[in-house]
Structure 1
């Protein structure tokens, strides 16, 4: 594999992002940073990596982590170059760190958070998360990002992605204009418009990053492996208003959906 820091996205990768809603970046940040991050995250979980009997919950949610090694992992030159390609130079905010980390542990128990959804991006001051909103301009979010801080195989609770689902969500959001729709409204149909999409698992070694269109439908799943999964899922924040007339691949995908 060629480290992302030594190359830009190919035309084929950009086209895949536009049509399928995501791109996988191998070696997006050094595995050494992932290892440093896991040590910090293990401490924050309150669990002992050498004592599985302390892994008593299927998921432990950790907040935002700033500074090294997290800010370094989020701001490699290769990632910055890729953000420029997908969103546009000067149109996104550098990451001060990473979060949130839903740390998933091997467990027979239902984690209770495995429904299909998109990550809504404004109105988050409302204490009811079902009232949080998304709109056709993707206010408050330029990308959904998945940073793998541990090796993730098919049994290790990889995020499930419905490839191409962002197009149906764009069509759903468009009539609602700037006000957009709440998560509750979007979820009322069970995201049925994405049911026929191919399901892709966000697997890969530590240091892999998935950059996803903000409208991409995805979900968590139970962990059936042997080692906990460490992954951050931060937004890339925009500095400008996105729209279907814009030049970036994020905006071109919206234009494609709306015809």
Structure 2
């Protein structure tokens, strides 16, 4: 099953997965999320915050269908190797971005925490134990706050990380700002049921919602069965010259 463009993932540090579930499954997930946040798609007067967080912690209904998707599993096998990642049953945290309000101050360039310290906290290192998945539950066009991605920035980021240290991403703003700053900009657009698999070193950022309809998208780590390290033979390793 050709569920992911592996060569694009190696080159750009991300790849789009179209329709890991049917659109109606994404629509059903979005309907549940509206219920959970107590707001209505038909009443913009309640859209007063730029970001509202909710979650799926049980894999209920359509969320479980996303996580069990054969197309998703085939894509993860393709980039991390069969048996190279741990399945997850629930989506986890889900930020919903709303239009027509002042944007949140959370739009800086970054990579996600990817390494657990001995005390159970997480930071960033050159031996990541996760890869990132973005999942769309709504239509996301260029004005609908799609995640910004610096295509190819994973190759810049790996050069500045120390394999022996786990760093605090909150203190790495200037490093993130510089990494891949001259790279092409891509936008994670798509339809309900689409997803993006993203290399743990690929620099990305949120952005202001300039559209008209709220954007529903999850961003979740998939834990690798062993940390990424030099000498690996998967596209995850090949993408950064390892």
How high is the TM-score relative to the length of structure 2? 0.93
Correspondence list, 1:155-174, <5 A: 155-173=143-161
Aligned to 1:3: none
* Alpha-carbon offset, residue 77 of structure 1: 0.9
What is the match of residue 15 of structure 1? 7
Deviation at 1:199, TM superposition (A): 0.6
**Deviating more after overlay: 190-199 vs 228-237:** 190-199
TM-superposed CA distance for 1:246, in Å, is 0.6
The answer for unaligned runs of 5 or more in structure 1 is 1-6
Does the C-alpha gap of structure 1 residues 41 and 249 become closer, same or farther in structure 2, counting only changes over 3 Å?
Answer: same
CA contact (8 A) 2:115 2:127 kept: no
Matches within 5 A, 1:1-259: 7-9=1-3, 13-67=5-59, 68-123=61-116, 132-139=122-129, 141=130, 143-173=131-161, 176-255=162-241
In 2, the alpha carbon distance for the partners of 1:179 and 1:165 equals 20
8 A Cα contact 1:26 1:209, kept in partner: yes
Are the structure 2 counterparts of residues 72 and 178 from structure 1 closer, same or farther at C-alpha, using a change threshold of 3 Å?
farther
TM-score, with structure 1 as normaliser: 0.87
1:163 positional shift? 0.4
2:192, 2:164 → 1: CA distance?
38
Aligned residues of 2:111 and 2:176 also touching (Cα < 8 A): no
- Cα distance 1:124–1:243, how it changes in 2: closer, same or farther (>3 A)? closer
Query: Any gaps of 5 or more consecutive residues in structure 2?
Result: none
Residues matched between the structures, number: 241
Tell whether the 8 Å contact from 1:30 to 1:73 is kept in structure 2 after alignment.
no
- After the TM superposition, which segments of 4 or more aligned residues of structure 1 sit over 3 Å from their partners? 122-127
